[in-house]
Amino acid sequence: MGLILSNGTECVFVTGPADTIHGMRINYYCGKGWIVGETDTTHGLWRVRYATHASHPRLQWLAVIEAFY
């Protein structure tokens, strides 16, 4: 299962125990970043919290443009 984000990044679901960033579970691994916490599906376009820089993570909201299995 995976997601493609509005910045072109492809992310794959993390199974089993996972670390946290800012108290939120890392749900997807994205090569140079991670998706943490729950997906916001309250709007027409889903969005996720994307974290970069493991030592000092910065979170930003990004739109999901594709979900795949």
The tokens 């000092």 sit on which residue? 56
pLDDT tens-digit series, residues 12-67: 999 999 999 999 999 999 998 999 999 999 988 999 999 987 678 889 999 999 99
The tokens 């916001």 sit on which residue? 40
Q: What sign does the CA torsion over 58, 59, 60, 66 have?
A: positive
pTM of the model: 0.88
Sequence ranges of the domains in the chain: 2-68
